[in-house]
C-alpha cells in the first residue's frame, strides 16, 4: 500500500481510520504510530532526556513521535461524539425484554498516573420503542474509555450516554478492570481487580430486574 502526501498531515480521525482499516488490510503499510502530524514530540524528547536517557540514540530517534501518536489515539475519545458513533443505528423495538451485551473489551488510561487500566464492560438495557445495533455498544464504550479516566466516572458516562440516546426503561453498566497503577507500581498487587456499576431507570428502582442482570454476569 502506498500512502499519498495527504497522510503526512493526517488528522486524528484519519489516523484512527488508518489503524482500523488500512494497516489491518495491508500489513506492509506503515504502523499507525508512524504517520500523522506531531506537535508535542519536543516535550516528549525533553521528558525522556529528563529520565536519564539519550534521546539521540538509534532506538529512541522516532520514539517521541510514536509516543505522541500513540497518546493521541489512546485519548481519541476527546474528539469523538456518541451521536457520530451511533450513526443512526437505532431501530424500532419489537419487544421490551432485557438485552445484555457482555465482555466488551476496553483499554483506558488512569488520569492520576497515566498508566493503563483495562478490562471488560457489561451492558444491559430494557428497550422502550428503540433498540441499538450491538456493535455500537462497544463503540460507545471506546468513546469514554479512550480518555484520561477514572473507572467510576467512565462507567457512569457510558450509562448516561446510552440512557440519553436510547431512552429505555433502564440501563445497567458494570465494568471490571485491572489497573497497572496498582500492579506495576505502588502496592504492586498483581491479582487485584476493580468492579464499578451504574444503574439507571428500572435497574436502579427494581431489585428483581437488577438481580436478573447481575445473575447474567455469573
Model confidence over 52-110: pLDDT tens digits? 999 999 999 999 999 999 999 999 999 999 999 998 899 998 888 999 999 999 999 99
89-216 has CATH 3.30.750.24 classification:
no
DSSP of 129-193, one letter per residue?
A: SEEE-HHHHHHHHHHHHSSEE-HHHHHHHHHHHHHHHH--SEEEEEEEEEEHHHHSSTT--TT--
Model confidence over 177-198: pLDDT tens digits? 999 999 998 988 888 999 999 9
- DSSP class of residue 128? S
Contacts of 131 (CB under 8 A, 6+ apart): 90, 91, 92, 93, 99, 166
Gap between the Cα atoms of 187 and 184, Å rounded: 8
Identify the helix (H) or strand (E) that includes residue 61: none
Say whether pLDDT at 124 is over 80.
yes
Instruction: Sketch the domain layout of the chain as residue ranges.
Output: 5-77, 89-216
**How large is the C-alpha radius of gyration of the chain?**
20
User: Which pTM value belongs to this model?
Assistant: 0.82
Contacts of 108 (CB under 8 A, 6+ apart): 116, 117, 118, 145, 146, 147, 149, 151, 154, 177
> Does residue 120 sit in helix, strand or coil?
strand
How sure is the predictor about 17, in pLDDT bands with cuts at 50, 70 and 90?
A: low
How far is CA 5 from each of CA 2, 19, 25, 145, rounded to the nearest angstrom? Answer: 10, 17, 20, 31
Amino acid at each position: 500500500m502506498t500512502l499519498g502526501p495527504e497522510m503526512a498531515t493526517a488528522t486524528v480521525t484519519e489516523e484512527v481510520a488508518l489503524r482500523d482499516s488500512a494497516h489491518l488490510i495491508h500489513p506492509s503499510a506503515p504502523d499507525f504510530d508512524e504517520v500523522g502530524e506531531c506537535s508535542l514530540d519536543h516535550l516528549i524528547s525533553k521528558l525522556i532526556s529528563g529520565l536519564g536517557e539519550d534521546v539521540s540514540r538509534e532506538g529512541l530517534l522516532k520514539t517521541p513521535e510514536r509516543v505522541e501518536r500513540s497518546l493521541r489515539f489512546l485519548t481519541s475519545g476527546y474528539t469523538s461524539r456518541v451521536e457520530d458513533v451511533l450513526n443512526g443505528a437505532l431501530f424500532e423495538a419489537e419487544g421490551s425484554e432485557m438485552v445484555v451485551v457482555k465482555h466488551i473489551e476496553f483499554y483506558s488510561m488512569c488520569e492520576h498516573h497515566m498508566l493503563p487500566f483495562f478490562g471488560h464492560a457489561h451492558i444491559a438495557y430494557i428497550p422502550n420503542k428503540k433498540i441499538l445495533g450491538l456493535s455500537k455498544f462497544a463503540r460507545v464504550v471506546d468513546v469514554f474509555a479512550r480518555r484520561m479516566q477514572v473507572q467510576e466516572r467512565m462507567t457512569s458516562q457510558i450509562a448516561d450516554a446510552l440512557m440519553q440516546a436510547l431512552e429505555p426503561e433502564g440501563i445497567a453498566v458494570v465494568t471490571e478492570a485491572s489497573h497497572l497503577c496498582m500492579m506495576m507500581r505502588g502496592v504492586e498487587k498483581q491479582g487485584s481487580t476493580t468492579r464499578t456499576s451504574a444503574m439507571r431507570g428500572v435497574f436502579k428502582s427494581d431489585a428483581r430486574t437488577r438481580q436478573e442482570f447481575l445473575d447474567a454476569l455469573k
